[in-house]
Amino acid sequence: MDAPDPVRGAVAEALGSPVVGHEDLHGGMSPGPAVGLRLADGRQVFVKAVSADVRAHNHAMIVQESWILDVLPVSVPAPRRLATVERGPWVAMATTWAPGATGPLWTDAAITAVAAACRAAGEHRAPSRLPPVDQRIFHFDGWARLLGTGPADDWEAAYAGPAADVVAGWERWTAGDALVHRDLRLDNTAVDVPAGSAVLLDWAYASAGAAWIDLAQMAADVVATGHVLGPQTATDRAYHLLQTLPPDASRFVVALTGMWCIRAATIPDTVMPDISAWRRARSAALRPLVSRLIADLRDPKLAGSRRGIATS
């Protein structure tokens, strides 16, 4: 759905320069337009918009991200907000253009660049306006709920109980004061391969939590989104990354998998009906890694050997 003319005009006015060209961008999880604009003054900017009449949640997320970008330290690898306009049910936000691109699958170069960006962000203390991360995490009791509704197959029957055990108390072990992006996926990054750098995009869920959270979520996404060299490489790369982090990072991946599993089973989306299948595919792709992580977490020798590992 394209933004109406009054919204487009308001964006150009707020940016202080006429729009001379645009490129429609695709991907992400918002049911609204996203474009790269070329302005008459030579700037290239990014704009995304959504109507509350289409999906109120995403409208609120753009409003929320607007003030979050304003409170992030300038040294965080994030875009800078240029303008936010509201016209009727529509909201649009313009930010600086992030150099690089977002590929369909992870590569080793992308893993290295995005991991460095996650570490750089996590070295910052979260701004005081950001809430604790447990307010940005949903359905991390997915495995326990699945036990109540009944597992769908033999794998869930075998692993839902142990998974629920290892993620118990997640509100406690995810806590911290580090800046957390909390929505780390490949399509929320722009990777500049020649420069070996990355910018983290879509900060609406930013919060204060454990410094390793974004790296753990990245590990899960490497498997769930996929690696150019195939599923086994994706699982191996994710496992290797998690071995550099505290054991709670592995618990986080197990909890994310349960979240996607229960949400796919219980929360239909009438605006974006494909999202249930997307969640189901992600939880299925993560099963080999989750099986391995649960075995590690239940082995005191393996878990103990990783305690005290630094995230930087």
Per DSSP, helices labelled H in the chain are 5-15, 56-71, 108-122, 142-149, 154-167, 170-173, 213-225, 231-243, 247-266, 275-285, 287-297, 300-305
Give the pLDDT confidence score for residue 267 in this predicted structure.
83
Q: Is the pLDDT of residue 308 over 60?
A: no
Q: Is the pLDDT of residue 116 over 50?
A: yes
All CATH 3.90.1200 domain ranges of the chain, comma separated, are 108-305
Across 21-25, 26-30, 107-111, the highest mean pLDDT is recorded for: 107-111
- Rounded to 10 degrees, the C-alpha dihedral 254/212/239/307 comes to -90
The pLDDT tens digits of the residues spanning 183-199 come to 999 999 999 999 999 99
Q: Is the pLDDT of residue 310 over 50?
A: no
Q: Which CATH class is domain 108-305?
A: alpha beta
Q: Is the pLDDT of residue 106 over 70?
A: yes
Measured CA to CA, the distance from residue 117 to residue 262 in angstroms comes to 30
Give the pLDDT confidence score for residue 26 in this predicted structure.
76
The pLDDT tens digits of the residues spanning 248-294 come to 999 999 999 999 999 998 888 766 778 899 999 999 999 999 999 99
C-alpha closest to that of 202 among 217, 219, 190, 218: 190
Q: Is the pLDDT of residue 60 over 90?
A: yes
Residue 88 gets the label, from left (phi > 0), alpha (psi -120 to 50) or beta, of left
All CATH 3.30.200.20 domain ranges of the chain, comma separated, are 5-96
Q: Is the pLDDT of residue 305 over 90?
A: no
What are φ and ψ of residue 177, in 5° steps? -115, 10
Question: Are the beta carbons of 219 and 292 closer than 8 angstroms?
Answer: no
- Percentage of the residues of the chain whose pLDDT score is greater than 90: 85
Name which of 27-41, 164-178, 275-289, 293-307 the model is least confident about: 293-307
Q: Sorting pLDDT into bands at 50, 70 and 90, what band is 202?
A: very high
- Token code pair at residue 278: 């997307």
Measured CA to CA, the distance from residue 298 to residue 305 in angstroms comes to 13
**Mean of the per-residue pLDDT values of the chain:** 93
Q: Sorting pLDDT into bands at 50, 70 and 90, what band is 303?
A: low
What average pLDDT score do residues 50-67 get? 95
Measured CA to CA, the distance from residue 126 to residue 297 in angstroms comes to 29
Q: State whether CATH 3.40.1190.20 applies to domain 5-96.
A: no
Give the pLDDT confidence score for residue 304 in this predicted structure.
54
| DSSP secondary structure letter of residue 312 | -
Give the pLDDT confidence score for residue 245 in this predicted structure.
97
Question: Are the beta carbons of 236 and 115 closer than 8 angstroms?
Answer: no
